[in-house]
Structure 1
Amino acid sequence: MIKCFNSIKNCYDCAMTNPSPPTSGVQLLEVAPELAGQRIDNFLRTQLKGVPKTLIYRILRKGEVRVNKGRIKPEYKLQAGDIVRVPPLRLAERDEPEPLAQGLLQRLEAAIVYEDKALIVLNKPAGIAVHGGSGLNYGVIEAFRQLRPDAKDIELVHRLDRDTSGLLMIAKKRSMLRHLHEALRGDGVDKRYMALVRGHWATAKKQVNAPLLKSNLRSGERMVEVNPEGKEALTIFRVLRRFGEFATLVEAKPVTGRTHQIRVHTQHAGHCIAGDSKYGDDDFTKEIRALGGKRLFLHAYELTVPLPEGGKLKLEAPVDEMWVRTVERLGA
């Protein structure tokens, strides 16, 4: 049996008549010129779709993978024409990725707005968690650990709520992570959000300064409320556009970085955010949904951060099509 690809020739030493065999056959992979220079571990992770990373490194450590009939180390860099021999793999050990997971990888790759050797900034879509847990297999950080396997120290710099969209920073190096955490603790990072809120936000209402207290309900759900025993929290607001008395588009700049800060501060001001199932108004959300707005209308649209070598990086991220269409219908 011979199976050919554009970049490799994949030949099985033994034909398989069982449609669901317990093991694959020995595989011989010929390295095409365009794949030369890759490390063997990264090459195998790309070519052996669905095979867990732990299994790939196990067969490399045991010397079961051969290149030109000789043993190699995981950091070996392939040359054009190399013949890579992969031992039989138990198919039961394969962890086939779900279609949604593959779609997530592609969607997040396309969402990158800036990348250098130490930093990734993406325009996170609404509805995607920043990390797995609580029944979620994948989040942004798990996806980028697959998308950037050579970035061994990749970590989230900060977080966005699952239903909030916009600019999210991921550090690829520990030095960048430390630098940005220090900047976040001070006033070196400027983050600005757009929010569509209920009612007429007065121009004179330029800030909400109200302490926030975080608690967990019996169900495990996390809630935040304005409480004098809470932590200091300050958000600066600016009116961007009004839609009569019905709604206002505001800019929110969180001076402090508390959980759910903008969502709770807008609620406290009497102008909850459209689509907020936790702190919002059901009737307002229903009216926005009737216009096609089926999301939380909170978006991190502008980010300014200091760079380690000096200077500043300023980025902006557009809102999605659903947001654009909803606002257009509001203004019609």
Structure 2
Amino acid sequence: MTEKHGVQTRIIEEKDAGMRLDRWFQNHFPNLKFGHLQRLCRSGQIRVDGGRVKGATRLEAGQELRIPPLDFEAASPVEKNIKTKDYRLTEEDRSLLRGFLLYEDENLMAVNKPAGLAVQGGSRQKRHLDGILTAAAKESGGQRPHLVHRLDLETSGVFLLAKNAAVARNLGAAFRGREIHKFYWALCLGVPELREGEITAPLAKKAVRGGETMVVDPEEGKSARTLYRVVDTLGRRASWTVFMPLTGRTHQIRVHAALAGCPLIGDDKYADAEQREAFSDVMQQDAPPLFLHARRIVVPAGVAGRKALDISAPLPEHMRAAWKKFGFAERAGDEAAEEFPQ
């Protein structure tokens, strides 16, 4: 997001592709009245890629959404918290900035997002990657990077950011077209019946007490496809699995793994009570953290510069310690990823 004299420019994320404009505003500015939104559209103050739009316009990943000055006093606490212009770096932030850069060139940067750090702010997220990078750019006099995809709060690993709007559009289109390949490492409870395959199950958001969850919904859900390959196992107790999502739904890997009967270790959201107890037995610790890491991302040549990019992120400490304890060889995971269709 960028701001100029109260005008904001947002890059539409992959997770919002296909969403109606009015629904997008409902999600991000829930206190903005529908009639006012319609007037802003009719007057041309809200624009997508420079063109006029209606509330029913469907958004695409990578598009630029122009938002005119709004009454933030009437906006929700969520929207106030994700404004980043007043974010101030802490010592913890500065320490993170010194060590998490994986790759950088004139077009983009890749960082190793730690688990527990939100990508954007929210009603319960005061500290977030967007705010940290915005504040860092402001201090250095540099350009604020653009968010082009997402990682869940509990997920660590490779995260890409574009350095300008044109690259953001290209990356958004590449994510939407499945040109960019992402590989995730996870430790799952149990071992799937088939050691490799594809999980296909449409997913939809469902409101629950305290927030939202994702559910399999054949009628209203969006298409969701995930390739997987088991790399190694702990007998029948657990399996190290590489996942390659072919679509980008919220919590997709977590829901699909649970659907296959092998929820991710530490995933209290999608595992049942018996499975949560088993997590502790496998890891020999109470309430283990989530074992899901965005290990690698591959960007083809021409998307963000002339050369192709293949960027990997080292495992977080809790996964690195577990891999050592269980005797897992990291090289085997990278080799397994090469077996997926490209």
Asked if Structure 1 and Structure 2 have the same fold, meaning a TM-score greater than 0.5 normalized by the shorter chain, the answer is: yes
Tell whether 2:181 aligns with 1:190: yes
Structure-to-structure mapping, 1:79-98, within 5 angstroms = none
Name the residue aligned to 2:284. 290
Structure-to-structure mapping, 1:260-299, within 5 angstroms = 260-280=251-271, 281-291=275-285, 294-299=288-293
Name the residue aligned to 1:202. 193
Range 309-318 or range 201-210, more displaced: 201-210
Q: SS of the counterpart of 1:206?
A: strand
- Whichever residue aligns with residue 167 of structure 2, its letter is M
Q: SS of the counterpart of 1:265?
A: helix
Name the residue aligned to 1:180. 171
Summarize the Cα distance change of 1:115–1:288 in structure 2 as closer, same or farther, 3 Å threshold: farther
Residues 148, 171 of structure 2: 8 Å contact kept: yes
Q: Point out the structure with max Rg over C-alpha.
A: 1
Unaligned runs of 5+ in 2: 1-85, 329-342
Name the residue aligned to 1:167. 158
- Whichever residue aligns with residue 277 of structure 2, its letter is D
- Following superposition, the deviation at residue 96 of structure 1 comes to 10
Structure-to-structure mapping, 1:59-138, within 5 angstroms = 101-138=90-127
Alignment partner of 1:227 out of 209, 217, 224: 217
Instruction: State how far apart, in whole Å, the 2-side matches of 1:330 and 1:248 are.
Output: 11
Residues 293, 322 of structure 1: 8 Å contact kept: no
Runs of at least 4 residues of structure 1 off by over 4 A?
95-98
Unaligned runs of 5+ in 1: 1-94
- Following superposition, the deviation at residue 133 of structure 1 comes to 1.3
Summarize the Cα distance change of 1:268–1:144 in structure 2 as closer, same or farther, 3 Å threshold: same
Name the residue aligned to 1:313. 309
Residues 108, 122 of structure 1: 8 Å contact kept: no
The two structures have a TM-score, normalised by structure 2, of 0.64
Alignment partner of 1:302 out of 286, 296, 305: 296
Summarize the Cα distance change of 1:226–1:310 in structure 2 as closer, same or farther, 3 Å threshold: same
Structure-to-structure mapping, 1:37-76, within 5 angstroms = none
Alignment length, in residue pairs?
235
Residues 257, 263 of structure 2: 8 Å contact kept: yes
Structure with bigger RCO (C-alpha 8 Å, 6+ apart): 2
Q: SS of the counterpart of 1:176?
A: helix
Residues 107, 304 of structure 2: 8 Å contact kept: no
- Whichever residue aligns with residue 160 of structure 2, its letter is M
The two structures have a TM-score, normalised by structure 1, of 0.66
- In the TM superposition, what whole-angstrom CA distance separates every residue of 1:200-246 from its partner, at most 9, and x where no partner exists? 22344411011111122243x11001111211100000111111000
Residues 184, 293 of structure 2: 8 Å contact kept: yes
Alignment partner of 1:217 out of 208, 213, 216: 208
Q: SS of the counterpart of 2:131?
A: helix
Q: SS of the counterpart of 1:324?
A: helix
- Following superposition, the deviation at residue 155 of structure 1 comes to 1.9
- Whichever residue aligns with residue 293 of structure 2, its letter is H
Percent of aligned positions that are identical: 35
Residues 158, 169 of structure 1: 8 Å contact kept: yes
Residues 275, 288 of structure 1: 8 Å contact kept: no
- Whichever residue aligns with residue 118 of structure 1, its letter is N
Instruction: State how far apart, in whole Å, the 1-side matches of 2:327 and 2:102 are.
Output: 29
- In the TM superposition, what whole-angstrom CA distance separates every residue of 1:78-114 from its partner, at most 9, and x where no partner exists? xxxxxxxxxxxxxxxxx9958xx32123213411100
- Whichever residue aligns with residue 207 of structure 1, its letter is E
- Whichever residue aligns with residue 189 of structure 1, its letter is I
- Following superposition, the deviation at residue 324 of structure 1 comes to 1.6
Summarize the Cα distance change of 1:287–1:144 in structure 2 as closer, same or farther, 3 Å threshold: same
Q: SS of the counterpart of 1:168?
A: strand
Alignment partner of 2:322 out of 293, 317, 326: 326
Instruction: State how far apart, in whole Å, the 2-side matches of 1:270 and 1:165 are.
Output: 23
Residues 108, 124 of structure 1: 8 Å contact kept: no
Q: SS of the counterpart of 1:200?
A: coil
Summarize the Cα distance change of 1:292–1:327 in structure 2 as closer, same or farther, 3 Å threshold: farther
Instruction: State how far apart, in whole Å, the 2-side matches of 1:217 and 1:293 are.
Output: 22
Range 265-274 or range 293-302, more displaced: 293-302
Name the residue aligned to 2:72. none
- Whichever residue aligns with residue 315 of structure 1, its letter is I
- In the TM superposition, what whole-angstrom CA distance separates every residue of 1:10-61 from its partner, at most 9, and x where no partner exists? xxxxxxxxxxxxxxxxxxxxxxxxxxxxxxxxxxxxxxxxxxxxxxxxxxxx
Residues 237, 282 of structure 2: 8 Å contact kept: no
Summarize the Cα distance change of 1:165–1:318 in structure 2 as closer, same or farther, 3 Å threshold: same
Instruction: State how far apart, in whole Å, the 1-side matches of 2:145 and 2:177 are.
Output: 23
- Following superposition, the deviation at residue 170 of structure 1 comes to 1.3
Tell whether 2:282 aligns with 1:257: no
- Following superposition, the deviation at residue 129 of structure 1 comes to 0.8
Q: SS of the counterpart of 2:192?
A: coil
Summarize the Cα distance change of 1:109–1:140 in structure 2 as closer, same or farther, 3 Å threshold: farther
